[in-house]
Amino acid sequence: MHFDAFDRYHDTGSFIHRLDPRVKVVVTVAYILSNALLPDGAWTAFGLAWLFLLFASALSNLGPGFTFKRSFIALPFALAAVTVLFSIPGSPLSTFHFLFWNLTITDMGLLRFVSIVVRSWLSVQMAILLVATTRFPDIVHALEHLRVPAILTTIIAFLYRYLFVLVDEVFRLLRAREARSAAAPGSRSGGSAAWRARVAGNMAGQLFLRSYERSDRVYNAMLARGYTGRLNTIHPHEMHRMDYIVTVLALFIILLFQLIGRI
Amino acid sequence: MHYAPAPLHIPDGFLNVTVSAICWVITVIVIGMAVSRTNKSLGEKQVPLMGIMAAFIFAAQMINFPVAGGTSGHLLGGALAAIVLGPWAGMLVMTAVIAVQGLLFQDGGLLVMGANILNMGLLTAAIGYGLYRSVMNKSTGTKLAVAGVAAWLSVMAGALATALQLWLSGTSSLQTVTIAMLSVHALIGIGEALITVAALSFIFRTRPDLLGEGSVSAEGGRGWIAAGVVVSLLVVLLSPLASANPDGLERVATDLGFIEAGQAAPYEIIPNYTLPFLGETPLSTILAGAIGALIVLGIVVATGRSLQKKTS
């Protein structure tokens, strides 16, 4: 399997692509934090934050609507917030009957619900932009520079590197299950749900053993190539003047959103 | 792609800053302990092993089996990871899995990642390993049965913690979200338990050495039993309380000041707030929450330590 089956990185080359990964990680997190800190109904600030996102999108050469297309990934979770429509006290907007409840939507509840959805929608798009403009190993490297413990970043780097190999392994297992799941015409293959769960469990166990044994081989191969306990890179990741300017400018603008949102 | 997002991954925007920060504090402390423990006890060999095991958990979540009506069950893996890799390594592995799901797939947010790691990586590992550890010397049948119960409970713990965080953030009303989360995950948990038990029994049959004496799996101390039992009890006691008698829990939370701490940020939107970052209230609530979390954690750790003395 080719790595881009998973990776959302788009190799277009742009101003944003060339920024140091640290800058992008820090600005993305600051942006998401800022959205979370903005009060409900701060529409001007949310609108400006959206413009900021559009501007970054335009600078990254991904084409209009790139982040928009994938931005609804978090939407199903909005179900969890539906109850605030009815539970927050405020003046009633409309009442309706659902099964055996009388539900009243309040204005405060609606305000809160829409704010939650907008926050999530903006934040998810910025995160999409981050992975679309930064190679994943670079993000991991940035995390290392930002003082995430080395053992954790190394595990993440390995996870990324071997995910594709193990997913191939899973596809082999799934294909083998398909191949052995014959059924007479008109009847369903396989036994009860519990039986099927057992088969899935055996497959997970099998996958575990294959991964475990593979990790032995991988370690031996790494030792053979001079592994001493840490991963080296020939990509030094240096912060240039432009990186500092962009960081300061972006953080300043995000700070402005906060001031505008709270006035 | 077979990648099926689990409904436990909270996206950004659904938890407020205070709750996110408290969860991050707890998560960072526990992971810090895990890092220092694994750095001490594991050789350089274990690092590639843990990395590939993280990829294994990620890939194993793709093995699904049809249940009924077009839905399918699949593994979350927190309990399984902790049982086969030992608790600390299991936690690190789950942390890596959740971090990659959030970073690469936007499955779970970045600001709320602390909460996601806590719910799906730390609580699941504590319950999964703690309960399993308590029957470590018993027969294989007992171990498998307990592992199944632990796997089910670990999913319930994640669901309950998610529900409580959503409630404290003012995103959902307590009773609705608890009932919804727990009832959905009671079913998902059965799938988790069946797969975990089958996977473990497969490993017992083929490579019993990986789970026996002297394996990484046996390395966790007895303190884990206490941690597992405490978290399980919390789940068992809080679940009915939150779903049947939410007023009681809300009263307790109000009395202890949790509600103000949790909901201060979204509700206290006073228009003429000038310096939000230095403003007294949000900062002090975050600090108060963090200190409270620290104290609770300190007690848990101290209890764990005192119980752990016997391990050499």
3-state DSSP assignment of residue B277 = coil
- Give the model's pLDDT for residue B236: 84
Q: Which pLDDT score, from 0 to 100, does residue B309 have?
A: 46
Q: Give the count of domains, chain A.
A: 1
> Taking Cα atoms as reference points, which of B177, B277, B234, B302 lies closest to residue A83?
B177
pLDDT category, A122, cuts 50, 70, 90?
very high
Query: Average pLDDT, whole number, for chain B?
Result: 78
Q: Report the alpha-carbon distance of residue A55 to residue A45 in Å, rounded.
A: 15
Task: For residue A68, tell me if it sits in a domain.
Answer: yes
Q: Which residue, among B43, B22, B2, B1, has the nearest Cα to B112 in the 3D structure? A: B22
Entry pTM: 0.83
Q: What is the ipTM of this complex?
A: 0.87
How does pLDDT run across A93-110, given as a tens digit for each residue?
A: 777 766 666 677 888 888
CB B212 within 8 A of CB A214: no
Q: What residue spans of chain A are helical by DSSP H?
A: 15-18, 21-37, 43-59, 66-69, 84-87, 107-133, 136-145, 150-180, 193-224, 241-262
- Average pLDDT, whole number, for chain A? 85
Concatenate the DSSP letters of all residues of B115-137 into one string.
Answer: HHHIIIIIHHHHHHHHHHHHTTT
Ordered by start, the domain boundaries in chain B are 17-308
Residue B170 belongs to what H/E stretch?
Answer: none
- Per-residue pLDDT band for B265 (boundaries 50, 70, 90) equals very low
Is residue A6 within 8 angstroms of chain B, CB to CB? yes
- Chain A positions touching B95 (Cβ under 8 A) are 152
Per residue in B173-195, pLDDT (tens digit) is 888 888 888 888 888 888 889 88
- What residues make up the domain containing A61? 3-144+238-262
Q: Which of B47, B52, B103 shows the shortest C-beta gap to A214?
A: B52
* DSSP per residue, B20-77: HHHHHHHHHHHHHHHHHHHHHH--TTHHHHHHHHHHHHHHHTT-EEE-STT-EEE---
Subunit contact B65:A207, Cβ cutoff 8 A: no
Residue A104 bridge partners (DSSP):
A95
8 Å CB contact between B219 and B41: yes
Q: Which of A80, A160, A194 sits opposite B14 (nearest CB)?
A: A80
**What's the N-to-C CA distance of chain A in angstroms?**
52
Q: Quick check: B14 and A165 CB within 8 A?
A: no
Does a structural domain hold residue A134?
Answer: yes
What pLDDT, on a 0 to 100 scale, did the predictor assign at position B266? Answer: 38
Put simply, whether B20 touches A (Cβ < 8 Å) is yes
Longest dimension (CA), chain A: 71
Residues 133-192 of A with CB under 8 A from B: 136, 139, 149, 151-152, 154-163, 165-167, 169-170, 173-174, 190
CA distance B119 to B162: 7
Q: Is the pLDDT of residue A249 over 50?
A: yes
Q: How far is CA A209 from the centre of its chain?
A: 29
For chain B, positions 145-184, list CB contacts with chain A under 8 A: 166, 170-173, 176-177, 180
A121: nearest Cα among B48, B41, B12: B12
Are A36 and B20 within 8 A, CB to CB? yes
Contact flag B106-A229 (C-beta cutoff 8 Å): no
Q: Has residue A202 been placed in a domain?
A: no
- For B17-308, the fitting CATH number among 3.90.1150.10, 3.40.50.410, 1.10.1760.20, 3.30.420.40 is 1.10.1760.20
Indicate the Cα dihedral angle B196, B202, B203, B208, nearest 10°.
130
A-chain residues near B63 (CB < 8 A): 170, 173-174, 200, 203-204, 207
Question: Minimum mean pLDDT among A211-220, B159-168, B302-311: which range?
Answer: B302-311
Q: pLDDT by residue (tens digit) across B16-71?
A: 888 999 999 999 999 999 988 888 776 677 788 888 999 999 888 888 776 655 55
Mutation target to probe the A interface, by most A beta carbons within 10 A, among B38, B46, B97, B106 is B106
CA atoms within 13 A on the CB side of A236: 3
Q: Would you tell me how many other CB atoms lie within 10 Å of the CB of residue A175?
A: 10
| Predicted local confidence at residue B260, as pLDDT | 52
For CA atoms B287, B293, B297, B300, the dihedral sign is positive
Which candidate in B17, B56, B67 is best for mutational testing of the A interface (most A CBs within 10 A)?
Answer: B56
For A207-223, what is the mean pLDDT? 90
**Residue B80, pLDDT score:** 92
Tens digit of pLDDT for each residue in B1-23? 344 445 678 888 889 888 999 99
Distances (CA, A) of B32 to A151, B23, B271, B287, B301: 11, 14, 39, 20, 13
